[in-house]
Amino acid sequence: MASSWEKFEELIKAEMRKIYSEAVIEHSMNPRNLGDLDDADGFARVTGPCGDTMSIWLKVNGDTIINASFMTDGCGTTIASGSMVTEMAKGKSVGEARRIGQQDVLDALGGLPDESKHCALLAANTLKEAVSDYLAMKKEPWKRAYRKY
């Protein structure tokens, strides 16, 4: 027999299904890669036009992103976008990750309503900035000691 909490959760999901794909619901309610990474090789914090802020941390080995994580103060679609973009980045080269764009995130999530598409753009832009930070630190590794998250 389902608990009151499970019934409530299913009611919420039923309402969400009217607007969002299963991928958006899953990634917003059970985000992957949430939190910071110790000793990250790349980092970025970007604030989108709606005021949501996203941070992404990258761990790179050779030219491959071996781990990625994120934090945001944003809404459910921003959480889903951050979760998805960090999943997409893992296992990719830094060049491949840098090419992940808004439409790639939207496609992976099964789309977002027009008023939420900027969340996918925020996630893609934050990933690009984190890759750029990694490349800058690779050129001048001494700057890593002065980094503040």
Active site residue 75: no
Sheet of 53-61, strand order? 42-47, 53-61, 64-72
Residue among 11, 12, 19, 50 flagged as catalytic? 50
**Cβ atoms within 10 A of the Cβ of 24, count?**
26
- Examine the residue annotation and report whether 50 is marked as an active-site residue of this protein: yes
**Could you say which of 25, 119, 120, 127 is catalytic?**
119
* Helix residue spans in the chain (DSSP H): 4-17, 22-29, 76-89, 94-98, 102-109, 117-139
Residues labelled as active-site residues: 50, 119
